[in-house]
Amino acid sequence: MNDILVKMVEEGLLDNQAAERVGALRAEGRPLDEALLAGSGLPEEELLRYLARELRVLYVDIEQCCPTKDFLSQFPARILLKHRLLPLEEHDGAVVVVTSKLFDIAAKNGPAYLIGSTEEMDLDRMLAFPSLAVTAGASTPDHSIDQVLAMLRGGGASLVVC
């Protein structure tokens, strides 16, 4: 990730002191995006647009997106807040999600699938990903969660249970 800092200095987005501040924050364990925001002096939108271009990810202006309250209510709020996630829409059985935390691996490793029961699982499609994060709402019965986990483990999935 030091390559990005070098490039930002070369392009005049950061001076050497700002790059050193960002480097010190990285040495403390802060993710690159957080270190850049805290140490660079750049406005968040400018920084995120730059990182999106450099990392070849889509920049989404969330002011232009309006997910409905009913759609958002399907997701555990604590997970959305913890990982700074915003589900935008469901498309072909996957949920399109945006985040401002580009370097939060749990937030960006693949599509999200919203299921109500094991009958709704497309196991082959889910197992195509190298790892899966599983979350459940507070009202989800334990036996339902156990069934989903058993099916995924039975298929050889590497799981992160949130």
Beta bridge partners of 94: 91
Residue 143 has pLDDT above 70, yes or no: yes
Could you give the CA distance from residue 99 to residue 86 in angstroms, rounded to a whole number?
6
pLDDT in tens, 112-132: 666 777 787 888 877 776 666
Instruction: Tell whether the model's pLDDT for residue 159 goes beyond 60.
Output: no
Strand (E) positions, the chain? 85-91, 94-99, 132-134, 159-161
Q: Full-prediction pTM beyond 0.85?
A: no
Calculate the average pLDDT of the chain.
79
Strand partners, 96: 89
Q: How far apart are CA 37 and CA 61, in angstroms?
A: 18
